[in-house]
Amino acid sequence: MNQHVNDVKYVGWVMESVPVAVFENYELSSMTLKYKRQCNQSDALQSMCSPTSCTAKLEKEAEVEVNGAGCSYTAGSQTSIPDVAKCVPPHLQFTHLLRLQVDGAEILQGKTQWRLKKSKHLH
């Protein structure tokens, strides 16, 4: 009636920016949204997300850090570089921003946490 968008629509827009590979391998475990201002149905928006650092323990106690630039590793003196295919952390975290395309005004900020799907856990 007042042409404002409801909360469910905001959640959908936030999820649009999450990479497809995340949906294929992870399930959403939590979401926190901080609304900054309202938007109308006719507003054009930009939905952006950025991964935050997280770590995962792999074979031979190698520790892999996943960040926006990719995978890096820290290992003991006898540990070889881990296989890139095994560089899958059990948890991921993203920060999200939804803003107006016209002037960049922030609509909302958010955080999502994801856990590896049960069938995808590292052994």
The catalytic residues are 2, 4, 39
Task: Show the 3-state SS of the chain.
Answer: CCCECCHHHHHHHHHHCCCHHHHHHEEEEEEEEEECCCCECCCCEEEEEEECCEEEECHHHCEEEEECCEEEEECCCCCCCCCHHHCCCCEEEEEEEEEECCCCCEEEEEEEEEEECHHHCCC
